[in-house]
Amino acid sequence: MTTIELINAALATVSDPELHRPLPELGMVESVAVNGAVAELKILLTISGCPMQDRLRSDITAAVIQVAAIDEVTIVFGVMSEEQRNNVKKLLRGGREKFIPFAQPDSLTRVLGIASGKGGVGKSSLTANLAISAALRGLRVGILDADVYGHSIPRLMNLMGQRPTAIDQMFIPLESYGVKVVSMEMFKPERADAVAYRGPLLHRVLEQLLSDAYWGDLDLLLIDLPPGTGDLAISLGQLIPTSEILVVTTPQIAAAEVAERAGRIAHQIHQRVVGVIENMSAFPCPHCSDEISLFGEGGGEETAARLSILVGSEVPLLGKVPFSTQLRTGGDDGKPIVIAHPDSPSALAISAITEKLIVRSNSLLGVRLGLST
């Protein structure tokens, strides 16, 4: 092989940090030249001011410098034309127009909507920790923060103030703790701005967040739904009919009555309710061996029992997550408890719930194989 062929082979081992595809495949390598022992490269970025430019420079240099005849690598960055960006979008979407990948018959992604009857039960905290826990087990995981009015996932995932890279009308989800993340907050001009959407516009927002993002191949997508039984809960069932619902409640019996409504809506639009999680459960007293039931007892069991009667089959109580100040402070600091305190009772409970939830990746269950007889 010539030196230029060896350099091109080396470049084929370098992937875009956001798109996770080899640079030549994306059309990002405009030219390769050799001047003595110096490799002279021109690389095209998808957008001007790409935040990954320094990372690309480092990765490309590390790969090309391994070529025996090369002692130095110089890189000039340019920007793709509109036509070249359109080619990238077509490649990423498999030649199809904008669509929701998780709604396609051949999708292997399990979509779980995390729902609650009311706010303040720790739904978003559990969403973040469950996603990270699944990612730690090797799954490719995403979070869509569909809580349009009360979005808190960016803080929980340590992504405050960050915005996704946009390629025209397509954008690349941010990543944190091995999880891809999209939130309405990432698109507001100012974080303090209120979102005042309703009705059909809410449906359109969810549709765009699902279809305009380049999620890549995911094993699991968790959707943090707004509390209650509003438009977005119904829209999820319409946009992704195969999506399932996980209900979060607290130990209070009164909370169980409210949580049941979230499962009832899912059942009415033919979504499977996979289970119930009781958050803020009894925790061990730091001074003695007694357990403290700060918010009462029995709410999780009551919710699971009511939903089981409703759907006509068992809706299991997947687990109870003990009340923990570490869970709260970890969320405030952007260091979820499964990362910051993996051996704590709350983290271990979340880990056990994750084991019950996750399914083997690339399962063919329910997928149309396109076979004819």
Residue 17 within a domain: yes
SS3 5: helix
Residue 59 scores a pLDDT above 60: yes
Q: Are the beta carbons of 112 and 220 closer than 8 angstroms?
A: yes
199 or 241: which carries more pLDDT confidence?
Answer: 241
Q: What are phi and psi of 217, to 5 degrees?
A: -90, 115
- For residues 138-149, average pLDDT: 91
Evaluate if residue 132 carries a pLDDT over 50: yes
Q: 74 and 118 share a domain?
A: no
**Same domain, yes or no, for 116 and 229?**
yes
214 and 299 together in one domain: yes
Answer with the one of 66, 92, 118 that is the final residue of a domain. Answer: 92
Secondary structure (H, E, C), 146-160:
CCCCCCCHHHHCCCC
Query: Among 62-66, 101-105, 137-141, 155-159, where is mean pLDDT lowest?
Result: 101-105
In-domain check, residue 365? no
Q: Please report the pLDDT score of residue 368 as a whole number.
A: 45
Q: What pLDDT is recorded for position 194? A: 67
Same domain? For 77 and 162 the reply is no
Do 260 and 111 fall into the same domain?
yes
Angle at 35 between CA 30 and CA 40, to 5 degrees: 30
For the chain, the average pLDDT equals 87
Tokens 């690389």 belong to which residue? 43
Nearest to 182 by CA among 157, 209, 152, 203: 209
Question: Residue 336 pLDDT more than 90?
Answer: yes
In whole angstroms, give the CA distance from residue 237 to residue 273. Answer: 12
Number of domains in the chain: 2
CB-CB neighbours of 279 under 10 Å: 28
Residue 367, pLDDT above cutoff 60: no
Question: What is the CATH classification number for the domain harbouring 43?
Answer: 3.30.300.130
pLDDT at 363 over 50: no
pLDDT of residue 360: 43
pLDDT band at 27 (very low <50, low <70, confident <90, very high): very high
From start to end of 5-71, where are the E strands?
29-35, 38-45
The DSSP annotation for 209-257 comes to HHHSB---S-SEEEEEPPSSS-HHHHHHHHH-TT-EEEEEE-S-HHHHH
Q: 352 and 232: one domain?
A: yes
Of 128-132, 238-242, 363-367, highest mean pLDDT: 128-132
Per-residue confidence at 284, pLDDT binned at 50, 70, 90?
Answer: confident
Phi, psi of 15 (to 5 degrees): -110, 150
Query: Which range of residues forms the domain containing residue 19?
Result: 3-92
| Residues of the chain above pLDDT 90, percent | 49
How far apart are the C-alpha atoms of 371 and 373, rounded to whole Å? 7
Whether 369 is in a domain gets the answer no
Nearest in space to 363 (alpha carbons), one of 219, 243, 217: 219
Residue with tokens 């005042």: 196
Ranking 175-189, 283-297, 333-347 by mean pLDDT, the lowest is: 283-297
Q: Confidence class of residue 362 from pLDDT cuts 50, 70 and 90? A: very low
Radius of gyration of the chain measured on its C-alpha atoms: 23
Does residue 371 carry a pLDDT above 70?
no
Per-residue pLDDT for 221 more than 90?
yes
Least confident of 23-27, 29-33, 186-190, 204-208: 186-190
Q: With contact defined as beta carbons under 8 Å apart, do 11 and 64 qualify?
A: yes
Percent of the chain whose pLDDT exceeds 70: 93
Paired strand residues for 317: 276
Longest dimension (CA), the chain: 77
Convert 54-88 into a string of H (helix), E (strand) and C (coil). Answer: HHHHHHHHHHHCCCCCCCEEEEEEEECCHHHHHHH
As beta bridge partners, residue 190 has none
pLDDT of residue 176: 95
* Lowest model confidence (mean pLDDT) among 41-45, 264-268, 346-350: 264-268
Amino acid at 332: D
Q: What average pLDDT score do residues 102-124 get?
A: 89
Provide the CATH number for the domain around residue 117: 3.40.50.300
Which of 70-79, 94-103, 161-170, 269-278 is predicted with the least confidence, judged by mean pLDDT? 94-103
pLDDT band per the 50, 70, 90 thresholds, residue 208: confident
18 shares its domain with 165? no
Per the model's pLDDT, the better-predicted residue between 359 and 341 turns out to be: 341
Bridge partners of 170, per DSSP, are 167
